[in-house]
Structure 1
Amino acid sequence: MNKTKKMMVGVLTTMMAASLTACRDESLPPKPNDQDCDDWEWDASTGTYVCDDDDSSHYRHYYYRGHYYPSKRKLQRSAAYKSYQQSAEFKARAKSGIGSGTKGSFFGG
């Protein structure tokens, strides 16, 4: 491989790594480390993670402080979650657009 090709591979690799890093949202809390679910999705409307592991008995359950909630309604009725909604952490995420309930996509929807 000549020097130009090596340089281009290096530049492209750096650009790809930078773009992937930019897509990751540093303001999200770390994903839960729970043996009952291997795949997590962030739910911006609740500020919690949802189990997206279709092999788990907790599939589509909301997870907050070590507990699974089978529905958004049950999560929102929990005393621990109500306290979280009043916290500065929750309000800061909502203010920054994370968890604000606003929707957007690549196509503007």
Structure 2
Amino acid sequence: MSKTNKVMTGIISTAFLLNLAACNNDTEDEYTSTQSQNIPDPPKDSNCSQWEWDEDDGGWECEDRHSHYYGHYFYGGRYYSSKSDLYKSSNYKKPSSSRNSSVQSGSSSETSKSVKRSSGFGSGSKSYGG
């Protein structure tokens, strides 16, 4: 292997490793920014054991496929069978653009078992290249 090939292999390897390190930092920043938002705790309700935060609507959606409430929205201590029903509710307030919602998480005697937070379509990792 010529000296030029060795140098090029070293440069490419270094660039690849630096790119990997940058990806890890992006993931940490994304996690920190999600945690810094004022997202209320998931509902503590025995009717659903898995929740997903809907950032756009400021409420929780039941993701427990074994629950009667699968696909229902939880807001202000009540279940809503659809987004339309949630929007029609007199106690629903659309979150402000700053994402600091006035959502009430509700309560019950059992703690939540699993929570999945998402920020919607297109929230995957960023990639830069040339």
TM-score between the two structures when normalised by the length of structure 1: 0.61
The C-alpha deviation readout for 1:83-108, integer Å capped at 9, x for no partner, is x22xxxx21xx22599xx97432266
Q: Distance in 1 between matches of 2:99 and 2:84?
A: 24
CA shift for structure 1 position 42: 0.6
Q: Number of matched residues?
A: 82
Higher relative contact order (CA 8 A, sep 6+): 2
Which structure has the larger Rg over C-alpha atoms? 2
Rate the CA distance shift 1:96–1:65 in 2: closer, same or farther, 3 A. closer
Q: Distance in 1 between matches of 2:50 and 2:91?
A: 23
- Aligned alpha-carbon RMSD (Å): 3.3
CA shift for structure 1 position 53: 0.4
1:68 aligns with 2:96: no
Tell me, what secondary structure is at the counterpart of 1:22?
Answer: helix
Partner of 2:53: 42
The C-alpha deviation readout for 1:47-102, integer Å capped at 9, x for no partner, is 10000000100001000111111100000000000xx22xxxx21xx22599xx97
**Residue 105 of structure 1 is aligned with which of 117, 120, 123?**
123
Tell me, what secondary structure is at the counterpart of 1:73?
Answer: helix
Rate the CA distance shift 1:97–1:33 in 2: closer, same or farther, 3 A. closer
Q: Which amino acid aligns with 1:58?
A: Y
TM-score between the two structures when normalised by the length of structure 2: 0.52
Q: Percent identity?
A: 32
Q: Distance in 2 between matches of 1:70 and 1:102?
A: 20
Does the CA contact (< 8 Å) of 2:73 and 2:81 recur in 1?
Answer: yes
